[in-house]
């Protein structure tokens, strides 16, 4: 297999915390060397990066691909192309499909489809309970053997604490990672906005941000009980952060994520009932958004994800309360994250710690780094180039992005999986 030398690059190395010019040598799909000066070996083709950023490819936990069940919304092919165009080299997919991915047979079908159709790595997650109904745990052991990298009921909260504690205990014995959605479901029932002045003005049924903290508090207590490996999919409110901090200090095996939408948008973006801004949990206040950015900066929140959720026009062109939740984000994740860079809120090594390094580590992958031996999953991007997003240009079959028509800055130029280009911007 051929080797490639990326020269004249701005290397973003989250592991070392550096952002510096240099070169990167790739051979047989793996990184061989990275640094300021690497001599060009004879058999190698050089790629001139023209001073643009080269970073480890994004590992995106929580991507919804609508196979099986709703392939018209998103297939492994379309999601894979979107991921490649967005610099996402590993999609960690959700099991909230129709039917739920809750048994080894369905998981094997999905894996086959993914490998055949998607140009990027796909690692599937499986449901924690059958049908995501919160009653009986799935075959966690078999599912792990079949390749499940984590277990989650997605936005369904396992309300029965006895069921949840047993599933956590069993998962711990298997060494499985459980991903949960911290939310007190009684308090949040029927809501589609965050309570506060905006929701009151718009007359939308709303949930207190406290529901997230209550959900997290409960899960933390169950972690103390069971010692399970746990990841909170999205922490989006300031009030939940002290609890997360305490749990980490107490040595619990807990990590937390946040979606790019909660880092770059707030509740006011909903404006006149724009349903493309309806996500779950609902967009929060500006104070919450800023607190969560600080938490990513400090490392309290470990992971930034796209929470890519395709919805077709029919599901979105409805009154706000009736419209489906979720937004596509594989392709807009990196440009949106650049808002935080240009706003001097997060530097590039910190961003790629949350986008690539931490999610890879949490799943036990050796990607997410620029170190020798790591897979050459890379994204080459220009952090500065401005553009106006036109949703018609997105690769996803569903184009429910909140960023349509918005000015963005920063764009993917090329994406490599195991050293092979899977996307190149013309």
Given 68, 196, 227, 421, the residue binding other proteins (CB under 8 A): 196
Q: How many Å apart are CA 46 and CA 8, to the nearest integer?
A: 10
Segment near other proteins (CB under 8 A), from 4-12, 21-29, 161-169, 316-324? 316-324
Given 199, 338, 340, 357, the residue binding other proteins (CB under 8 A): 199
**Exposure string (b/e) for 40-63, b if CB count within 10 Å is 16 or more?**
eeeebeebebeebbbbbbbbbbbb
- Does position 388 interact with other proteins (CB under 8 A)? The reply is no
Torsion of the alpha carbons at 167, 169, 175 and 180, rounded to the nearest 10 = 50
- The residue among 126, 113, 43 whose CA lies nearest residue 79 is 113
CB closer to other proteins out of 24 and 206: 206
Q: Are 95 and 128 in contact (CB under 8 A)?
A: no
Given 69, 189, 246, 273, the residue binding other proteins (CB under 8 A): 273
Within 54-93, the residues that bind other proteins by CB under 8 A are none
- Does position 98 interact with other proteins (CB under 8 A)? The reply is no
Segment near other proteins (CB under 8 A), from 12-20, 80-88, 178-186, 203-211? 203-211
| Shortest spacing between CB 212 and other proteins, in angstroms | 15
- Does position 344 interact with other proteins (CB under 8 A)? The reply is no
- Does position 312 interact with other proteins (CB under 8 A)? The reply is no
- Does position 318 interact with other proteins (CB under 8 A)? The reply is yes
- Does position 322 interact with other proteins (CB under 8 A)? The reply is yes
Given 37, 43, 45, 314, the residue binding other proteins (CB under 8 A): 314
| Shortest spacing between CB 329 and other proteins, in angstroms | 24
Q: Are 87 and 379 in contact (CB under 8 A)?
A: yes
- Does position 42 interact with other proteins (CB under 8 A)? The reply is no
- Does position 190 interact with other proteins (CB under 8 A)? The reply is no
Q: How many CB atoms lie within 10 A of CB 256?
A: 25
CB closer to other proteins out of 45 and 322: 322
Given 36, 190, 317, 373, the residue binding other proteins (CB under 8 A): 317
Torsion of the alpha carbons at 269, 308, 13 and 365, rounded to the nearest 10 = 150
Q: How many Å apart are CA 125 and CA 141, to the nearest integer?
A: 13
| Shortest spacing between CB 316 and other proteins, in angstroms | 11
Q: Are 349 and 357 in contact (CB under 8 A)?
A: no
| Shortest spacing between CB 73 and other proteins, in angstroms | 17
Q: How many Å apart are CA 74 and CA 64, to the nearest integer?
A: 8
Q: At what angle do helices 104-117 and 76-85 cross, to 10 degrees?
A: 50
Q: How many Å apart are CA 99 and CA 336, to the nearest integer?
A: 32
Segment near other proteins (CB under 8 A), from 94-102, 189-197, 327-335, 392-400? 189-197
User: Phi/psi class of residue 248: alpha, beta or left (left: φ > 0; alpha: ψ in -120 to 50)?
Assistant: alpha
CB closer to other proteins out of 71 and 202: 202
Q: How is 170-206 classified by DSSP, letter by letter?
A: HHHHHT-EEEE----HHHHTT--EETTHHHHHHT--E
CB closer to other proteins out of 312 and 347: 312
Which residues sit at the interface with other proteins, rule CB under 8 A?
195-197, 199-206, 208, 272-273, 314, 317-322
């Amino acid at each position: 297999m051929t080797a490639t030398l990326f020269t004249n690059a701005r290397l973003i190395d989250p592991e070392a915390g550096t952002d510096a010019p240099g070169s990167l040598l790739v051979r047989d799909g793996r990184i061989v060397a990275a640094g300021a000066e690497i001599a060009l070996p004879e058999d190698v083709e050089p790629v001139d990066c023209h001073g643009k950023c080269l970073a480890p490819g994004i590992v995106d936990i929580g991507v919804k691909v609508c196979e099986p069940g709703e392939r018209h919304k998103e297939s492994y092919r379309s999601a894979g192309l979107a991921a490649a165009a967005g610099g996402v080299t590993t999609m960690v997919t959700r099991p909230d499909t129709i039917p739920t991915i809750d048994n080894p047979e369905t998981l094997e079908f999905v894996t086959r489809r993914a490998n055949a159709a998607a140009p990027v790595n796909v690692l599937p997650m499986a449901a924690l309970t059958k049908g995501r109904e919160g009653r009986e745990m799935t075959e966690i052991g078999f599912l792990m053997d079949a390749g499940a990298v984590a277990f989650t009921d997605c936005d369904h909260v396992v309300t029965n604490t006895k069921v949840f504690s047993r599933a956590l205990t069993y998962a711990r014995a298997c060494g499985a990672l459980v991903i949960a959605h911290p939310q007190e479901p009684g308090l949040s029932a029927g809501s589609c906005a965050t309570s506060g002045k905006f929701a009151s003005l718009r007359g939308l049924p709303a949930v207190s941000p406290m529901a997230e903290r209550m959900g997290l508090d409960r899960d933390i207590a169950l972690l103390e009980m069971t010692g399970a490996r746990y990841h909170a999919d999205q922490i989006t409110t300031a009030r939940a952060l002290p609890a997360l901090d305490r749990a980490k200090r107490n040595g619990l095996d807990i990590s937390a994520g946040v979606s790019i939408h909660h880092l770059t948008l707030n509740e006011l973006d909903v404006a006149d009932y724009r349903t493309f801004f309806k996500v779950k949990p609902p967009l929060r206040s500006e104070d919450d958004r800023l607190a969560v950015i600080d938490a990513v900066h400090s490392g309290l929140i470990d992971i930034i994800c796209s929470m890519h959720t395709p919805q077709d026009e029919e599901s979105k062109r409805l009154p706000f309360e009736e419209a489906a939740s979720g937004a596509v984000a594989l392709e807009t994740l990196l440009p949106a994250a650049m808002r935080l860079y240009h706003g001097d809120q997060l530097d590039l090594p910190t961003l790629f710690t949350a986008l690539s390094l931490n999610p890879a580590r949490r799943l036990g992958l050796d990607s997410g780094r620029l170190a020798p031996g790591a897979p050459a999953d890379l994204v080459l991007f220009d952090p500065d180039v401005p553009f106006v997003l036109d949703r018609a240009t997105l690769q996803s079959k569903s184009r429910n992005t909140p960023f349509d028509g918005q000015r963005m800055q920063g764009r993917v130029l090329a994406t490599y999986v195991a050293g092979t280009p899977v996307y190149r911007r013309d």
